[in-house]
Amino acid sequence: MNAKVAHSYASIFRPDLFAGQVHVVTGGGSGIGRCVAHELAALGAMVVITGRSEDKLAKVAAEITEDGGKVDTSAFDIRDEDQVKAAIAAIVAKHGRIDGLVNNAGGQFPSPMAAISKRGFEAVVSNNLTGGFLMAREVFNQSMAKHGGAIVNMAADMWNGMPGMAHSGAARAGMVNLTKTAAYEWAYADVRVNAVAPGWIASSGMDAYGPAMAPMIRSLKSNLPMKRLGLEAEVSSVITFLLSPGAAFTTGITVAIDGGAPLHSSVMPSGDHKPATSYDGFHRSSVPKVLQDQADAA
């Protein structure tokens, strides 16, 4: 299955939904962040994508520009407090305000808990929790406290623990709790804070785990009631809704986007049925390399 060839993002939302608004997407240079940036731009937002790699951000910015969207880039490390403060100040100075923040950036590595070093544990927590906290705090203090807004944080399917990724599970659980606290404390300023918890999503991030994880990744769909992995667009559409006026009375929640993964039972298997219907509005999506053989055979 090759990358799609189309002209624009086929969002289920109206094209001018975010016209005149400024939305920041961290980790916008690849994977889910790239998809979210494309959808928000297609809906009229000025999208500021951030990340540590200027080259990756430039490639996505060129895609969005080619598609007719408005985009800006900001390269910095969300784990560095001074860099975060300076970057948000620069975005506000240039664009006037920030209406939406998607705390998408993060990362982890597979490892049994007994083998994770203190340095490795802290690095993943810094990526997946502390960096998101710093971004949310600065966006609130420097912009949203004055005019309101919406924040969507990134969690994960860690409800039954996260074997093989204890560091990420701990950080993502922390993000769920941080989301609730921020939603309560910032409601007075008309700021809504929610989170999404994707399960196994067929995104480019899967290719970062290396060949040792490939057999496990290819077998994941067998353990899902929907018998397929999720798509980037299926995460993006939920994030987009949470940023939208349609979610005006929704705050402090975490939406699971996992194909029913926590419901899987070895006692009563869901059987061998065809995969559930999918939605992929992302015209530039492609199948991760680790799954391409399966896609070609499907």
Separation of alpha carbons 145 and 163, rounded Å: 38
**Is residue 8 in some structural domain?**
no
Separation of alpha carbons 139 and 283, rounded Å: 30
Separation of alpha carbons 3 and 285, rounded Å: 6
CATH (domain of 175): 3.40.50.720
**Is residue 140 in some structural domain?**
yes
**Is residue 83 in some structural domain?**
yes
Structure tokens at 231: 């798509």
**Is residue 45 in some structural domain?**
yes
Which residues, other chains included, contact 239 with Cβ-Cβ below 8 Å and sequence gap of 6+?
Answer: 36, 102, 152, 196
Q: Please give the C-alpha separations between residue 235 and each of 98, 200, 281, in angstroms, as whole numbers.
A: 22, 11, 11
Please tell me the predicted confidence (pLDDT) of residue 210.
Answer: 67
pLDDT lower than 50: segments of the chain: 1-2, 5, 296-298
**Is residue 207 in some structural domain?**
yes
**Is residue 93 in some structural domain?**
yes
Q: What is the 3-state secondary structure (H, E, C) of 122-181?
A: HHHHHHHHHHHHHHHHHHHHHHHHHHCEEEEEECCCCECECCCEHHHHHHHHHHHHHHHH
Structural domain boundaries enclosing 68: 22-297
The neighbouring-strand residues paired with 89 are none
Please tell me the predicted confidence (pLDDT) of residue 224.
Answer: 78
**Is residue 13 in some structural domain?**
no
Asked whether the whole model's pTM tops 0.85, one would answer yes
**Is residue 16 in some structural domain?**
no
Q: In total, how many domains does the chain have?
A: 1
